[in-house]
Structure formats: C-alpha cells, structure tokens
Amino acid sequence: MSPLILKCVCFVCIYADGDYRPVGTAFFLGVTPEGYGPSDQWCAVVTALHVIAGIEKSGGQIFLRVNTKSGGVDYVEMPPERWVRPDHSGGIVDAAACFFSTESQEKTDFKFIGEKQAITAEGLRDLHVGVGNDVYLSGLFVNHAGTQRNEPIIRSGTFAAIPEEEVLTNHGRMRAYLIESRSIGGLSGSPVFVEPGLTYFTDDGQIHMRPPLTRAWHLLGIIQGHWDVPELFGPDTSLSAEAVNKGIAIVTPIDYALRLAHEAVLQAFAAWDAEHG
C-alpha cells in the first residue's frame, strides 16, 4: 500500500462548546489551473458536501485536523464561505472543495494526490477499469481517530456497479458509482481508489496483460455514504444497538470534485489579487 493513500487524508471536525469532534474525512488534491504548466500544482481540500452542511446546520465551526511536521496535530479553520459547492444544476453532487493555503501547507505533514492520478468516467472506459476491480478507501475511524496524531484506517472492497441511471440517496438522486464495502461513521468524504489490476477483459471476453509501469491505483471518487438496512432485530440483540448497512457504499465520481477543486483554487487566486492589487 502506497504511503500516499494514508498521508493524503485529514479529519473534518466540528468545533462547538469548546471542543473539537471529528465527524468526517477530507483529502488533499493537487490541481493545475488552465494556463499554468504541468509542474504548477495548487492544493485544495475535498470532502463530501453533506459533512460541511451538517456542521453548518448544527451551528458549529468547520476545522480540519491535520498532522504537523513538528509532531502532534493542529486544527485549521475552514470557514463556510471558503468552500466551493456545486450548483446541482445537473443533479445533486455530494462534494465540496476549499483552497489549502501555502501557509497551512508549510506546517502540515501531508501529501496531495495529483489530478493526473485521478480516473474519470472516460478514463474508466479507456483503461478497461470498472466492475469487479478492487477498491479501497482511507479515512476516519470515529472510535480511534488518534490523540497525538491522526490515525486513518484503510477499508477495501470491490467495484460493484457503474449505474446508467441516477442513484437514489438520502440527499436525493445523484450520479454515483457503487462499491461493495461496509461504510462506517467518519468515512464520509474519504477518497476512494481503484486498482486496475495486472489484466483486463475486452468486450469479447478476451483477457489481456496490462503494459509495464501501469499505475497501481487511481483516485476514483469520494465516499458519500451507504444504504441502511431497516431495523429487523429485537431489543435483546446486540445488532439493534449499532448501525447496520447493506454493504454497498455510494461514491461520488471524482470528475465532479476536480471541477470544484479547480474553482476553489481560482477563487483563492482572485481573492489574493483583489487584496494585493
């Protein structure tokens, strides 16, 4: 497992009543705005929109809990107005992005994922990646976030479906991928990665070897959540006291997050220009 998979994430916290509480996951995404060279990358933070909206609705403040280069953790405030959100004109998109300043980067022990490491819907088709491929995600385990350092976990599963129709979620209908992986509290906003594997099948059923130096993984999307199983157990069972889900998680395609990340960076540039003339 590449160390980048763990070092690209941080935890989204609500600050209320003098206390920070981790409630979700975010990850660092490096993008190159139009007009810049491929080596020019700026960092945005990406998470699920419902994580940000939930903190706002509760009246709390939004902070990122990040590991620091000097050891320990720090809390970086990300005010609501700094988050770029989708307009939902083409359907519901559960993603949001915010520029991660150079000042914050200098203090933070992290790695970002470059946009060239992401795989869009077009890339899935071109590279013969999709249903049946292995997937994994990194993020917050609410029962053990770590005290002195963020300690994200890895969960794994299988690419289960690429629905042609919009998927019905708790937030409405949205374009999404489905993966077979048990979702748990705190993973909302986590990055999802897909492994191409050493071989692939063509439409006529033939198996082919991938060429040497093929990427080991691609950034597929963002964990949105899962479908809950209706309560079927009586009060005397241990299962009745915990959340149970169907084992199918909903993933927002990275295509949408890339657009938001680009917009977040450009907005930060515009704000800097306005402030410094």
- Say if residue 184's pLDDT is above 80: no
40-50 pLDDT, tens per residue? 899 999 999 99
> Quick check: 266 pLDDT over 90?
yes
Distance CA 58, CA 45 (A): 21
pLDDT band of residue 67 (cuts 50, 70, 90) is: very high
Split into its structural domains, the chain has a count of 1
**Interatomic CA distance for residues 61 and 78, integer angstroms:** 8
Is 215 within 8 Å of 117 (Cβ atoms)?
Answer: yes
Higher pLDDT, 168 or 185: 168
Specify whether the CB–CB gap between 171 and 50 falls below 8 A.
yes
**Burial, 53: exposed, middle or buried (Cβ in 10 Å; 0-12, 13-18, 19+)?**
middle
Q: Tokens 């029962």 map to which residue?
A: 143
Alpha carbons 36 and 248: distance in angstroms, whole number: 39
Question: Which residue spans within 32-60 are E strands per DSSP?
Answer: 42-47
Of 29-33, 116-120, 171-175, minimum mean pLDDT range: 171-175
Are 7 and 116 contacting, i.e. CB atoms less than 8 angstroms apart?
A: no
Could you read off the pLDDT of 220-265 as tens digits, one per residue? 999 987 665 443 333 443 333 344 467 889 999 999 999 999 999 9
pLDDT > 70 in the chain, percent: 91
Return the structure tokens found at 236. 């005397």
Q: Which two tokens stand for residue 26?
A: 């975010």
Q: Which domain holds residue 256?
A: 4-276
What is residue 228's predicted lDDT score, i.e. its pLDDT? 54
pLDDT exceeding 90 applies to what percent of the chain? 65
CATH number at residue 157: 2.40.10.120
pLDDT on residue 155: 93
Q: Which residue in 152, 148, 61 sits closest to 111, CA to CA?
A: 152
Q: Select the highest-mean-pLDDT range: 96-100, 167-171, 180-184.
A: 96-100
